[in-house]
C-alpha cells in the first residue's frame, strides 16, 4: 500500500480508537467482537507461557543485541475475530531471537475483566492489546488517568529490521492522530496494531448474475429496496444488539454531508452538531432504514452480531456493515448457494462524490506502572518487523498499520480482503476519527452515549429529534466537565 494521508477528525490520519477491533465497532457485542465486535475465537480465557531457555539473563540477540535485567514479560491480549495464534507464534519467535526471555500470554474476549483487578492493585501486565466493546472502556480509563507509558522515543529509534526510525514504517498520520497521541502534546502513548476498512458488504455472486447496479449514493441505496424485494430479501441488516456497528455508516456520512468541520464538531463535543443539517441528514438515513417497508430485516434489533451476519450470508438481507475481518470471521457460517463476499464501502451523500469507507486502527499500550517496560517496548518494536507483518497476515488475516502491509501479506489474504485494502488507494475516501478525551472522572463514555440509543431509533421508540435533544444536553455536560477540569 502506498503511503498516503487519510481523512480524520484530528489532522490528517487514518485512525479510530480501536472500537471495532478485529471484529466490530463501538459498543459491539462486548465479547471482543468490536473499538469492535467480531466473534471471539474458541475459548474464553487462557494463559500461555513459554521460554526459549532457562538462562537467567538474555543474551545479545541478532534482533537488537540488547540485554535486559528483567527477562520475563507479561502480556494481555484481546482474543476476538483475529484469534490468538499470532500472539503465540510471535512470542515464540521473539524468545528465540532474544534467548533467555520468557513471555507469558493471557488472552480472552473479555480481557479487561481479567486485567482490571491487577491494574487497580498497581500490578498491571507489561503490555496490553485492548479491543472489543467491553474492553475498550478500560483502555479509555487508562488514558483519562494518564496511566500509559510515553512511547515517543521508541518510534524515533530504528525499526527492528534496522535502518530508518520506526515511525517511518507506520502509515502516514497514524501516530499523530488522537487515537495514538490522545493529549494533543505531540507525544505517542498508544501504538497501532491492525487496521481495518469498514463499510457495506453484499453478495457479489448475486449482483454479478443479476446485473444489479450497486448504489453510489444514499438515494441509490433506498432505490435498491425494490431490487432487494424482488430477490426475496430485505434491503439491510446490522448487528442489532451492538448498534456501534452503525458507526460505519455515521462517520463517513457526516464527512460526506458536512465535511471536516462537521466531523470535528461531532468528535469534539460541540452541542450545535445536534442542531445541524448534517445531523438531520445522517440520522435521517437511520430513521428511514427503520421505517421504510422492507428496508430493515425483520428482527434485526434483537440479533447479536453472529446471528445478523449469518442471516445476511443466507440471503435474508442485501447489505450489512462490517470490516475487513468479516470474511475470515464467518468462514464456517452457512450461506446461500454461490455466495461471494463483495465490498461496497459507504454510499455518498450526493451524486459525483467518490465512495467512502471508514477505517480504524487498533491500539497497543504499555501501562506506566508496568514492571518490565523496557522489554515490553522491545517486544512492541519487534511487532513491526516485516517478518511479524507477514506472520500476522498468515495467522490472523490481519493487516498491520504499516506501509506496504497488504502486499507483504498478500499471499495469506483472500482476494476480496486484499482488494478492499487496495481500494483505499484507488479513490475510495477513507474517513475516521476518535472522540476527544473527556474529563478525568467523567460519568460519560462518549461512544456509549452516541451509539447505544440508536437502538431506540431503529425499533421506532425514539425519534431523531428526541435523540438529538438528548445528545445536545450530554455534549453540553461534557463541555462543562472539561471546562471545570481545565481541559476545554
pLDDT tens across 356-395, in order? 999 889 999 999 999 999 999 999 999 999 999 999 999 9
Domain boundary among 358, 382, 414: 358
Residues 6+ apart with CB under 8 A from 411: 393, 394
Inter-residue contact 82 to 194 (CB < 8 Å): yes
Inter-residue contact 288 to 235 (CB < 8 Å): no
Inter-residue contact 367 to 145 (CB < 8 Å): no
Regarding whether 160 and 33 lie in a shared domain, the answer is yes
Inter-residue contact 195 to 82 (CB < 8 Å): no
Does residue 475 lie within any of the structural domains?
no
Inter-residue contact 98 to 34 (CB < 8 Å): no
Give the pLDDT of residue 153: 97
Q: What CATH number does residue 60 fall under?
A: 3.40.190.10
Beta bridge partners of 196: 360
Q: Where are the alpha helices (DSSP H) in 314-445?
A: 326-329, 373-383, 386-396, 405-408, 415-423
Inter-residue contact 360 to 192 (CB < 8 Å): no
Q: What is the rounded distance in angstroms from the CA atom of residue 323 to the CA atom of residue 327?
A: 9
Does residue 149 lie within any of the structural domains?
yes
Regarding whether 340 and 371 lie in a shared domain, the answer is no
Inter-residue contact 243 to 455 (CB < 8 Å): yes
For residue 132, what pLDDT band results from cuts at 50, 70 and 90? confident
Q: How is residue 41 written as a grid cell? A: 475465537
Average pLDDT over residues 264-287: 97
pTM summary value: 0.77
Regarding whether 294 and 203 lie in a shared domain, the answer is yes
Average pLDDT over residues 417-445: 85
Residues 6+ apart with CB under 8 A from 252: 199, 345, 346, 356, 357, 358, 429, 431
- Which of the pair, 66 or 50, is modelled with greater confidence? 66
Does residue 462 lie within any of the structural domains?
no
Does residue 438 lie within any of the structural domains?
no
Torsions phi, psi of 362, nearest 5?
Answer: -75, 160
Does residue 445 lie within any of the structural domains?
no
Average pLDDT over residues 56-71: 61
Does residue 208 lie within any of the structural domains?
yes
Does residue 470 lie within any of the structural domains?
no
Regarding whether 217 and 143 lie in a shared domain, the answer is no
Average pLDDT over residues 253-274: 96
Does residue 101 surpass a pLDDT of 90? yes
Regarding whether 417 and 366 lie in a shared domain, the answer is yes
- The whole domain housing 351 covers 198-358
Does residue 322 surpass a pLDDT of 70? yes
Give the pLDDT of residue 218: 98
Average pLDDT over residues 141-165: 92
Q: Where are the alpha helices (DSSP H) in 124-217?
A: 136-144, 152-156, 204-210
The radius of gyration of the chain from alpha carbons, rounded to an integer in Å, stands at 22
Regarding whether 397 and 303 lie in a shared domain, the answer is no
Average pLDDT over residues 19-26: 35
Regarding whether 365 and 347 lie in a shared domain, the answer is no
Average pLDDT over residues 95-116: 96
- Which of the pair, 39 or 106, is modelled with greater confidence? 106
Q: Which helix (H) or strand (E) holds 23?
A: none
Does residue 329 lie within any of the structural domains?
yes
| pLDDT tens profile 393-415 | 999 999 999 999 999 999 999 99
Regarding whether 157 and 234 lie in a shared domain, the answer is no
**Angle CA(197)–CA(11)–CA(177) in degrees, nearest 5?**
65
- Which of the pair, 183 or 316, is modelled with greater confidence? 316
- Which of the pair, 349 or 183, is modelled with greater confidence? 349
Domain count, the chain: 2
Give the pLDDT of residue 310: 98
Regarding whether 332 and 350 lie in a shared domain, the answer is yes
Give the pLDDT of residue 425: 64
Instruction: From 458, 439, 118, 55, select the one nearest 288 (Cα to Cα).
Output: 458
Domain boundary among 323, 358, 393: 358
Instruction: From 144, 154, 55, select the one nearest 383 (Cα to Cα).
Output: 154
| pLDDT tens profile 438-483 | 888 889 989 999 999 999 999 999 999 999 999 999 999 999 999 9
Integer angstrom CA distances of residue 346 from 94, 440, 451: 40, 35, 18
Strands 72-78 and 127-130: parallel
Regarding whether 225 and 262 lie in a shared domain, the answer is yes
Instruction: From 316, 312, 321, 313, select the one nearest 346 (Cα to Cα).
Output: 321
Does residue 5 surpass a pLDDT of 50? no
For residue 82, what pLDDT band results from cuts at 50, 70 and 90? confident
Inter-residue contact 343 to 419 (CB < 8 Å): yes
Regarding whether 240 and 153 lie in a shared domain, the answer is no
Q: What is the rounded distance in angstroms from the CA atom of residue 192 to the CA atom of residue 61?
A: 25
Give the pLDDT of residue 29: 39
Beta bridge partners of 391: none
Inter-residue contact 166 to 401 (CB < 8 Å): no
Exposed (0-12), middle (13-18) or buried (19+): which is 293, by Cβ within 10 Å?
A: exposed
Domain boundary among 329, 358, 387: 358
- What number of other Cβ atoms are within 10 A of residue 210's Cβ? 12
Counting other chains too, the contacts that 137-142 makes at CB distance below 8 Å and 24 or more residues apart are 137/112, 137/445, 138/112, 139/112, 139/363, 139/365, 140/17, 140/437, 140/445, 142/365, 142/367
Regarding whether 187 and 65 lie in a shared domain, the answer is yes
Q: Which helix (H) or strand (E) holds 471?
A: helix 464-485
Give the pLDDT of residue 50: 40
Exposed (0-12), middle (13-18) or buried (19+): which is 369, by Cβ within 10 Å?
A: middle
Torsions phi, psi of 16, nearest 5?
Answer: -150, 150
Integer angstrom CA distances of residue 118 from 114, 142, 483: 8, 13, 32
Amino acid at each position: 500500500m502506498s503511503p498516503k494521508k487519510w481523512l480524520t477528525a484530528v489532522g490528517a490520519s487514518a485512525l479510530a480508537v480501536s472500537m471495532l477491533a478485529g471484529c466490530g465497532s463501538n459498543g459491539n457485542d462486548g465479547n471482543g467482537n468490536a473499538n469492535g465486535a467480531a466473534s471471539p475465537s474458541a475459548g474464553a480465557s487462557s494463559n500461555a507461557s513459554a521460554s526459549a531457555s532457562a538462562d537467567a539473563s538474555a543474551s545479545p540477540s541478532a534482533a537488537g543485541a540488547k540485554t535486559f535485567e528483567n527477562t520475563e514479560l507479561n502480556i494481555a491480549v484481546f482474543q476476538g475475530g483475529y484469534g490468538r495464534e499470532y500472539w503465540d507464534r510471535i512470542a515464540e519467535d521473539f524468545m528465540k531471537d532474544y534467548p533467555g526471555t520468557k513471555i507469558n500470554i493471557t488472552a480472552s474476549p473479555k480481557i479487561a475483566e481479567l486485567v482490571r483487578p491487577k491494574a487497580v492493585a498497581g500490578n498491571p501486565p507489561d503490555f496490553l492489546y485492548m479491543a472489543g466493546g467491553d474492553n475498550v472502556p478500560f483502555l479509555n480509563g487508562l488514558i483519562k488517568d494518564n496511566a500509559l507509558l510515553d512511547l515517543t522515543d521508541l518510534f524515533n529509534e530504528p525499526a527492528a529490521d534496522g535502518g530508518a526510525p520506526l515511525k517511518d514504517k507506520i502509515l502516514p498520520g497514524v501516530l499523530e492522530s488522537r487515537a495514538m497521541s490522545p493529549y494533543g502534546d505531540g507525544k505517542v502513548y498508544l501504538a497501532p496494531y491492525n487496521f481495518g476498512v469498514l463499510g457495506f458488504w453484499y453478495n457479489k455472486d448475486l449482483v454479478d448474475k443479476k446485473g444489479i447496479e450497486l448504489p453510489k449514493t444514499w438515494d441509490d441505496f433506498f432505490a435498491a429496496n425494490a431490487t432487494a424485494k424482488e430477490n426475496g430479501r430485505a434491503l439491510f441488516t446490522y448487528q442489532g444488539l451492538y448498534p456501534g456497528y452503525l458507526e460505519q455508516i455515521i462517520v463517513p456520512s457526516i464527512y460526506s454531508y458536512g465535511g471536516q468541520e462537521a466531523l470535528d464538531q461531532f468528535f469534539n463535543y460541540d452541542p450545535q452538531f445536534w442542531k445541524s443539517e448534517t445531523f438531520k441528514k445522517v440520522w435521517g438515513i437511520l430513521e428511514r432504514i427503520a421505517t421504510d417497508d422492507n428496508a430493515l430485516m425483520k428482527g434485526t434489533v434483537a440479533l447479536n452480531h453472529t446471528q445478523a451476519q449469518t442471516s445476511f450470508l443466507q440471503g435474508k438481507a442485501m447489505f450489512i456493515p462490517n470490516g475487513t475481518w468479516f470474511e475470515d470471521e464467518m468462514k464456517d457460517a452457512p450461506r446461500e448457494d454461490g455466495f461471494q463476499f463483495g465490498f461496497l464501502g459507504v454510499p455518498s451523500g450526493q451524486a459525483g462524490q467518490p465512495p467512502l469507507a471508514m477505517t480504524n486502527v487498533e491500539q497497543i499500550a504499555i501501562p506506566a506502572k508496568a514492571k518490565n517496560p523496557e522489554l515490553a517496548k522491545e517486544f512492541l518494536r519487534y511487532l513491526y518487523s516485516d517478518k511479524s507483518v507477514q506472520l500476522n497476515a498468515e495467522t490472523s488475516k490481519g493487516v498491520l498499520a504499516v506501509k506496504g502491509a497488504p502486499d507483504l501479506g498478500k499471499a495469506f489474504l483472500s482476494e476480496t480482503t486484499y482488494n478492499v485494502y487496495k481500494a483505499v488507494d484507488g479513490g475510495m475516501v477513507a474517513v475516521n476519527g476518535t472522540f476527544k478525551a473527556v474529563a478525568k472522572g467523567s460519568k460519560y463514555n462518549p461512544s456509549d452515549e452516541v451509539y447505544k440509543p440508536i437502538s431506540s431509533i431503529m425499533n421506532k421508540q425514539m425519534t431523531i429529534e428526541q435523540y438529538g435533544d438528548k445528545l445536545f444536553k450530554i455534549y453540553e455536560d461534557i463541555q462543562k466537565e472539561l471546562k471545570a477540569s481545565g481541559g476545554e
